[in-house]
Structure 1
Amino acid sequence: MITEKEPDAGLAARIPGSKSLTNRLLLLAAAADGTSTVRAPLVSEDTVAFREALGACGLTVRSGPRDEFWEVTGTGRGPTGSARPWCADAGTAARFLPPFAATGHGTFLFDGSSQLRARPQRPLIDALRALGADLDPGPGNGLPLLIRARGLTGGELTVDSSLSSQYLSGLLMAAPLMRDGLRIRTGSLVSRPYVDMTLALMRRFGARVEESDDGTLHVAPRPYDAADVVVEPDASSASYIFAAAAVTGTTVTVPGLGTDSLQGDLRFVDVLRQAGAEVRVGRTAATVTGTGRLRGGFSVDMGEISDTFMTLAAIAPLADAPITIRGIAHARLKESDRVAAVAANLRACGIETSDGPDRITVHPGVPRPARVACRRDHRIAMSFSVLGLAVPGTITLDDPSCVAKTFPEFHDEMRRLFTGYALASSTSG
């Protein structure tokens, strides 16, 4: 990532807190001994679902005025009792909370929406079984998932993280609560930056974690310490604002996202730089300026920042040559098959695309009017909103409100920052 002096302000975007950070912090605070404060949390469907699932497990989460902070009172151990946590659409809840529950004592039945039930859970279930957990999964080794918890001893484990890093993060965060701690070999791993984020936050709460030369992670048993942590703006959500700046020739700064960020998705600005935008990243802010043209003719591996691949794919028709995005096979297993969803929507716009198991190639073209099928996927809606801003009157969304999953004020913020943005009002009916 390019680093320079602090960027000039330009238009200052208001990006909500990181979902990835908020939900990890909620889990770590719940596992800590004492009361922790999570400041500037993301308040969205996914984080509220996570918070309410913790409440169902008997944890106390108190809101400050206007949700400026959340206070979580932990006990230094896993939950106890009997509960039916509802995860809604939140994949992080379905993958972080079961290992935490398994370290406690009681009966926990995790369930979620039909969309979440369809998402894979097998690597997590296999790992929990290997650790001795007593559980009954639903059809296809997914939700609903019943855990009869009596604590976990820990030990050694190999985790398949080729589909999602969330399985590994969930097990790592529960590891200090296991009687003997945990040694995890990861094998194939996607989205390594998210695992690095997990490890950094665990250490912030006092965990002792070491990594061997062969990649094995060693987590010592010890209670987490309570902590007071501020949530960064969400880098994945910022990608849409940065992309909009790049394609409209404006300058936008996101305060709070800088060189010390824990979020790998900030590296999306480097991809925009490759596509011709001007990028400046300082210690406390990042700025993107559009230069009037979008360059193509390159191939980029976005496997480690796959939540932002759709942002690039949606604006790729505006480039002067094809763009190929690689390393995104695991994006087919998210809220939707995101590779197929992007390709189908681009073709509906008259844009030539080709895709394979782990790639998509987008060719230059003039989008024709189309109604984008969001598939209840917030990232599809936000990505194609940027294309609609660049080519006014072209894009409508069949489900504009699905952005509430992570960025409830998305349409309002786009309208505030960029003249002519009208997608929210044109599709709200």
Structure 2
Amino acid sequence: MTRATTHPAPMTARIPGSKSITNRALLLAAAAVGTSRLRSPLVSADTVAFRTALSDLGFTVAALDHDEVWEVAGAGRGPTGSSAVWCEDAGTAARFLAPFAAVGNGRFVLDGSAQLRARPLRPLADTLTALGATVTTEPGGALPMTVETGGLDGGTITVDGSLSSQFLSGLLMSAPLMRTPVRFTVHNLVSRPYVNMTLTLMRRFGAQVTEQREGVIEVHPGGYSATDLTVEPDASTASYVFAAAAITGTAVTVPGLGHGSLQGDLHFVDVLQRMGAQVRIADTATTVTGGDRLRGGFCADMGEMSDTFMTVAAIAPLADAPITIRGIAHTRLKESDRIAAVAENLHALGVATDTGHDWLTVYPASPTGARIACRRDHRIGMAFSVLGLRIPHLTLDDPSCVAKTFPGFHQELRRLFPLSAPVI
């Protein structure tokens, strides 16, 4: 494919709402007193699973205006009674709703797909047990998880954040519903921007939260108040169209994603800038324009925006020097072992890599077509689809896996880049 020598006016990408914001806002709205409206929520497999799980717990979420608005009737408390909750593949559903169930009153059984059962929950189960709930899991701390509870008192909680920031976020969001203040001491936290997002949204819904110093957070009882919230576009999902612009020499703008974004993954564009793209972040939009060539020869710590490391890795073979990505050990515990999945697929394309516990190096290459093993992981499917814009005969073994966060992904990529190599 011949790259553009001049830059036309930027194309406007249609990026759906943030999954991270949508699912956090759903829980906070259910916990609040009154009715909240979430505008422009992400409508995808993960968020619909979360919405359905809340319904299983007895909360009402109404889809209005063709899913443009979700109206949540909050109860001002945790769930009550006895419920079986199906979380599908959604890690946020299991990790956010288990603490929410524990601040309620009753017996709740959370379960999910085989993929979700393989993801770790032991630290969360142990913490809820220490706070007074009766929690049972499968060996190793896996789903299904049963939570029997009469509410939680609060107190002092020490959290190891090295496996996933979602454990801490789930506990934080439920803390205002505990009977006494909760003081969190957090060690080895990964993905700090996601915790910042959680705290910002908690305050938006009226929670009393103070950060005493780095790693020490205090949450006071008092619950939440209903609010209306517009969900900004998903920065992780935007990484794919930004990367596509970088490797095709075109320009793409994502409206609604600019200065003041709640999402740390917007810093992905900083890595593209190191690779030679032009980046402009305005108050209400971000634009990426591809350069004449893709530069390598650097190391990027992507621990705080790890959902986007695969996007960089997938296009890295097109750079003029190796690129090393570090700080990503926790991605081995996501929907797939993402470091291994990326390396194996790059090898299938004829690209050399080196890997370690928390790092990956990708070397320049002239990739050949191959069938990508998605491992039911939406981010593997979307990242390699971007490389497929430059590599003929690259196909996916599971194109539908993208429905987890962006059901219309393939159609949007074809709309923006109709002359590029098709990915099926």
TM-score using structure 1 length: 0.96
Deviation at 1:422, TM superposition (A): 5.4
Q: C-alpha separation between the residues in 2 aligned to 1:222 and 1:9?
A: 50
Q: Is the 8 A contact 2:390 2:421 kept in 1?
A: no
Q: Distance in 2 between matches of 1:142 and 1:181?
A: 29
In the alignment, which residue of structure 2 is the partner of 1:139? 139
1:215 Cα offset (Å): 2.2
Aligned to 1:63: 63
Aligned partner of 2:297 in structure 1 is 297
Q: CA offset at residue 181 of structure 1? A: 2.5
After superposition, residues 215-364 of structure 1 pair within 5 angstroms as: 215-364=215-364
Distance in 1 between residues matched to 2:86 and 2:412, nearest whole Å: 30
Query: 1:415 matched to which residue of 2?
Result: 414
Instruction: Give CA-to-partner distance per residue, 1:117-152, whole Å, 9 cap, x none.
Output: 000011111111111111111221110000112100
Kept after mapping to 2: 8 A contact 1:367/1:394: no
The CA distance in 2 between the partners of 1:421 and 1:380, in whole Å, is: 19
Per-residue CA deviation, residues 405-428 of structure 1 (Å, 9 max, x unaligned), is 00000000000101234545xx3x
CA deviation map 1:287-326 (0-9, x unaligned): 0000121000000100000000000000000000000000
Report the count of equivalent residues. 417
| Structure 2 counterpart of 1:192 | 192
| 1:323-362 superposed Cα distances (whole Å, 9 cap, x missing partner) | 0000000000000000000000000000010000000000
Q: Counterpart of 1:83?
A: 83
Q: Deviation at 1:403? A: 0.2
Q: Which amino acid aligns with 1:305?
A: M
Contact 2:32-2:223 at 8 Å conserved across structures: yes
1:5 is matched with none
Alignment correspondent of 2:165: 165
Which letter does structure 2 place at the counterpart of 1:87? C
Equivalent AA in structure 2 for residue 300 of structure 1: A
Give the deviation of 1:59 after TM superposition.
0.3
Letter in 2 for 1:420: L
Task: Quickly say closer, same or farther: Cα 1:260–1:296, change in 2 above 3 A.
Answer: same
- Whole-Å separation in 2 of the counterparts to 1:101 and 1:423: 45
Question: What amino acid does structure 2 have at the position aligned with 1:330?
Answer: H
> Residue 294 of structure 1: SS of its match in structure 2?
coil
1:3 maps to what in 2? none
Q: Is the deviation greater in 8-17 or in 65-74?
A: 8-17
Partner of 2:117: 117
| Matched letter for residue 351 of structure 2 | I
Quick check: 1:19–1:47 contact (8 Å CA) kept in 2? yes
Detail structure 1 runs of 4+ shifted over 4 Å in the superposition. Answer: none
Paired residues of 1:247 and 1:292 also in contact (CA < 8 A): no
Q: TM-score, normalised by structure 2?
A: 0.97
Q: Which amino acid aligns with 1:24?
A: R
Amino acid at match of 2:416: L
Aligned: 1:386 with 2:386: yes
Paired amino acid for 1:278: Q
Q: Secondary structure at the match of 2:287?
A: strand
Partner Cα separation in structure 1 for residue 281 and residue 364 of structure 2: 29
Deviating more after overlay: 15-24 vs 124-133: 124-133
For residues 9 and 124 of structure 2, the distance between their equivalents in structure 1, rounded to whole angstroms, comes to: 44
Unaligned regions of 5+ residues in structure 2, if any?
Answer: 1-7
Alpha-carbon deviations, 1:7-64, whole Å to 9, x = none? x961000000000000000000000011011110000000000000000000000110
